[in-house]
Amino acid sequence: MSGTTVVRPAGYGVVRAGRGSFLVHRRSALVAGGLLLLLAAASVAYLCVGERFVGPSEVVRILLGESSPSAFVVAELREPRLVAALAVGAAFGIGGALVQTVARNPLASPDIIGISQGAGVVTVAAMTFGIGSYAALPYLSIAGGVLAAALVYVFAWRGGLHATRFVLIGIGFAIALRSLTTLFMTKGDYLVAQQAQIWMTGSLNGRGWDESAPIRWTLLLMLPAVLWAARAQRTVSLDDDTATALGVRLGRVRLGLVAVGVVLASVATGVAGPVDFVALLAPQIARRMTRTAQIPLLCSALAGAVTVVVADLLARRLLSPVELPVGVLTAAVGAPYLIWLIVRSRTAGGNA
């Protein structure tokens, strides 16, 4: 072996800046670049298409601040909703990745540990009893999601967080809360049921700057935590004993990772409703593209954003003038791609 000139660990490049040094997985960097281009293309397409088509070059000029007759449609109507879609997609991508990492289960996502159902039951209950204005509903559902996840964590904790116990208790709570939701829906009035059904599918309809403010602020405020998580995630992918031997404080790291994931997923749910399949699909798509040992957070966020943007574009135009809820189409966009990745997978795939 050539010794010192070989850069390890294999597949990683090292970026040095002053006294700092950062590991970059090369394939992940390429995938992230590709996803970024795709996201840019999807975003421009999103701004072009609508009741009235606006040319891509004009869209770019409007984004750069030049005046145009279409400026109102693009910048005032379509852009805020695009930003909401981007933020929600990225938040679900990261939230799902973190929950899957801690749960050590590729099926885990915010709807497995009760976040979506917690948000759902609070929202539907509020609708049924007529409490809470539309301005308050997102905050109620955020609270519901965080509360449900916290309960699951407390009940699953017994001298440590066992991954299987965590998902089992999570799924138990999730089903119980969903049952409560359905109870409200069947006991309630038909109009409430339909409204609740739309909320529970997830929709970006009418989400403007004000509506997407919570998720935008959360993403910004959580950025340091997400950067920490991206690194910390590497360490919890080993088994408990080995990780402890390497000096990882497993209990705290796991709690931290879950907390970041839960907050992001809850706020995203509050803004757009439970578009939770994004949270399940995006991390798995990202991981299968990058072929890393852990779920790549950045790629997961980008994959989530691409999925939601494309899905919402289709949701707006597919049955135009009727707008479908975006949740109907996120799975339709993401699932076939995941299926394709599974079918052509080259690794044998280990145990979950």
Partner 1 sequence: MPAAFPSRRVLATSAAVVALLLAVLLSLTVGARAIAPSTVLDALLHGGTSDDAEVVRQLRVPRTVIGLMVGTALALAGTALQGITRNPIADPGILGISQGSSVAVVLAIAFLGVHDLSGYVWFAFAGAALASVAVYAIASGGRGGATPVKLALGGAAINALLLSVTTGVLTTRASALDEFRFWQIGSLDGRDAGIIGQIWPFLLLGAVLVLSVARGLDALALGEDVAKGLGQRVATVRIVGGLGATVLTGAAVAAAGPVAFVGLAVPHIARAVVGSDHRWVLPMAALTGPVMLLVADVAGRIVFPPGEVPAGVMTALIGVPFLVTLVRRKAVPA
Partner 2 sequence: MSSRLTARGLTLAYEDRTVVDELDLAIPDGKVTVIVGPNACGKSTTLRALGRLLRPAGGAVLLDGEELAKLPTKRIARSIGLLPQTPVAPEAITVGDLVSRGRQPHQAWWKQWSEEDERAVTDAMERTDVAALADRSVDALSGGQRQRVWIAMALAQETDLLLLDEPTTYLDISHQVEVLDLVRRLNRLRGRTVVLVLHDLNQAARYADHLVAMKAGRVVAEGPPEEVVTAELVRDVFGLESVVVPDPVTGSPLVVPGAPWHAEVVR
Binding site for partner 1 (CB under 8 A): 105-108, 112, 155-156, 158, 162-165, 167-169, 171-173, 175-176, 178-180, 182-183, 185-187, 190, 193-194, 197-198, 201, 277, 280-281, 284, 319, 322, 324-325, 327-332, 334-336, 338-339, 342-352
Q: How far is the CB of 327 from partner 1 (least distance, A)?
A: 7
What's the sign of the alpha-carbon dihedral 183, 189, 192, 193? positive
Partner whose binding site includes residue 227, from partner 2, partner 1, none (CB under 5 to 8 Å by kind): partner 2
- Residue identified by tokens 């090292």 is 14
- φ/ψ region of 239 (left if φ > 0, alpha if ψ in -120 to 50, else beta) reads beta
Q: Does 14 bind partner 2 (CB under 8 A)?
A: yes
Question: Under rule CB under 8 A, which residues in 18-57 are in contact with partner 2?
Answer: 19-23
- Per-residue contact track with partner 2, 321 to 350, x per CB under 8 A? --------------------------xxxx
Partner whose binding site includes residue 27, from partner 2, partner 1, none (CB under 5 to 8 Å by kind): none
45 versus 176: smaller Cβ distance to partner 1: 176
User: What is each CA distance from 78 to 45, 47, 56, 234, 297, in whole angstroms?
Assistant: 11, 6, 14, 38, 27
Q: Does 9 bind partner 2 (CB under 8 A)?
A: yes
* Residues linked to residue 95 through DSSP beta bridges, in sequence order: none
Q: Is the peptide bond before 69 cis (omega within 30 degrees of 0)?
A: no
5 versus 133: smaller Cβ distance to partner 2: 5
Q: In whole angstroms, what is the distance from residue 266 CA to residue 253 CA?
A: 20
Q: In whole angstroms, what is the distance from residue 219 CA to residue 307 CA?
A: 18
Question: Under rule CB under 8 A, which residues in 182-201 are in contact with partner 2?
Answer: none
Q: Does 67 bind partner 2 (CB under 8 A)?
A: no
Q: How far is the CB of 187 from partner 1 (least distance, A)?
A: 8
263 versus 326: smaller Cβ distance to partner 1: 326
User: What is each CA distance from 132 to 34, 128, 156, 194, in whole angstroms?
Assistant: 43, 10, 32, 18
Partner whose binding site includes residue 281, from partner 2, partner 1, none (CB under 5 to 8 Å by kind): partner 1
| Neighbour count for residue 328 (Cβ, 10 Å) | 17
What's the sign of the alpha-carbon dihedral 111, 116, 121, 124? negative
81 versus 178: smaller Cβ distance to partner 1: 178
* Among 213, 125, 212, 110, residue whose Cα is nearest residue 167: 110
Tokens of 282: 């995006």
What's the DSSP call for residue 57? H
Partner whose binding site includes residue 331, from partner 1, partner 2, none (CB under 5 to 8 Å by kind): partner 1
Q: Does 72 bind partner 2 (CB under 8 A)?
A: no
Binding-site ranges for partner 2 (CB under 8 A): 1, 3-4, 6-12, 14, 19-23, 227-228, 231, 234-235, 237-239, 241-242, 244-249, 291-294, 347-351
